[in-house]
Amino acid sequence: MDRIGKESGLSSTDVQGAIDELYGVCTAEPPAGEQIIEDAGLEKDSYEDRYFFKGSNPNNYVTFNGENAGWRIISIENNGSLKIIKTDDIGEMSWDKTGGRYGSNIWTRPADLNSYLNEEYFETLVDKEYVIAYDWNIGMLDSGANSQEDLSLEIQQECSTKWNGKVAIVSMSEYLRTNSNAEKCNTIDKVISNYSNCNNTNWLFSGATSTMSAIDGGGNLLYYILDNGRPNPMVYPSATAPIRPVLYLSSDIKITGGDGSQSNPYEISL
């Protein structure tokens, strides 16, 4: 089955061209048909003009920064850029520990993690020219976000505040949208109730990790994913958790090989 990339037989090797040929320009019904999407593990998002890789283990591995299969594609944005996440964490760190007694949950303060990822960590990347500054959705979730019946309000809250930068971490709404079991796992509350099952249908779950999602309403709290997969809304920014960097790759990159599997990840170049 065809996949994005040179070996799929597509005439275009640039990311946007390949997306246009396979799916059209972010249409609700991709013209290439549902079978391609099902085979690739890539699905049109129900809330925004984006495509997400969903399920337990889709073929979304990419070689970046000299790391073979060291990153995975979270989503394809409507401008053709790729949002990717590091396969393994870079160690346990706090979100912030200098912004008050328990740290600050204001990312733009800047939070300590913000500064580290966009200064020290970014400078370690050997392929930094592939990375673009992007407007990230960093709006806080209200304290009742986990009890919402669907994702729409949570996404609206995240989109209410933008931050332009190059490196951050995954948000709670993205963590939910990479899960293929929408019936049981598409809200924070559902995952809290069904986390042992939801872990099996979400490739983003790999143990404990921190998220971008701060909580509004006082207390300087954040959402973390615990090592059992349960979202925890009662964590102070000063607490440490494994960090998996996330960044956007330019739509100018070319996919030059691979099929996205872990043994044959997508290869990219400018």
Residue whose C-alpha is closest to residue 231's, from 193, 203, 183: 193
Residue located via tokens 């391609």: 36
The answer to whether the CB of 42 falls within 8 A of the CB of 28 is: no
pLDDT of residue 258: 86
Q: Which of 186, 185, 198, 201 is nearest to 229 (CA)?
A: 198
Identify the segments of the chain with pLDDT beneath 50: 1-12, 22-39
Coil, strand or helix: which one is 33? Answer: coil
d(CA 6, CA 266): 10
Q: Determine the pLDDT at residue 79.
A: 85
* Contact criterion met (CB below 8 Å) for 211 and 225: yes
| CA pair distance 143, 118, nearest whole angstrom | 28
Write the pLDDT tens digit of every residue in 146-196: 555 578 888 999 999 999 999 999 999 999 999 999 999 999 989 999 999
Is residue 90 within 8 Å of residue 243, measured between CB atoms?
yes
Smallest CA-to-CA distance from 268 within 10, 88, 82, 44 is with: 82
